[in-house]
Amino acid sequence: MLQQSKRSRIELNLNGPEGNVFVLIKTGMDLGFRMGMDRKEVEASLKGEQSRLQWSYEHTVAMFEHHFGDFYDIHGNPELLESVHHCLEAIRSEVKQRTCLNEAISIVL
């Protein structure tokens, strides 16, 4: 696992060049590989379970924040950040529901 150093977190400005969705995906992939994730794990961490037709920029940023937010401070215009926050809440709720379901299944089995 990648160790978080005592250095400050990396600033990520969504309004700048690093906010481009392809740069964001590449950044997430690089960090995921450094964390020891394989390609499928990294792609899943950025895409979630949505099909390509359902992807949105906000969803990609929210997935990045969900999985790699311990290392980054994400900045951008307030409307975008609010939309990302709503996506992030939905992702966390989905993860919590899936965890509860998996625990219930393991108890039954």
Could you list the pLDDT tens digit for every one of the 109 residues in the chain? 344 445 678 888 999 888 888 888 888 889 888 888 888 887 777 766 554 445 688 888 888 888 888 888 899 989 989 988 888 888 888 777 777 766 666 666 5
- The residue type found at 59 is H
Residue 29: exposed, middle, or buried by beta-carbon count in 10 A (0-12, 13-18, 19+)?
Answer: middle
For position 54, what pLDDT does the model report? 57
Q: What's the predicted TM-score (pTM) here?
A: 0.71
Report which of 66, 68, 85 is spatially closest to residue 77, judged by C-alpha positions. 85
55/52 Cα distance (integer angstroms): 5
Do the strands 10-13 and 72-75 form a parallel or antiparallel pair, or are they unpaired? Answer: parallel
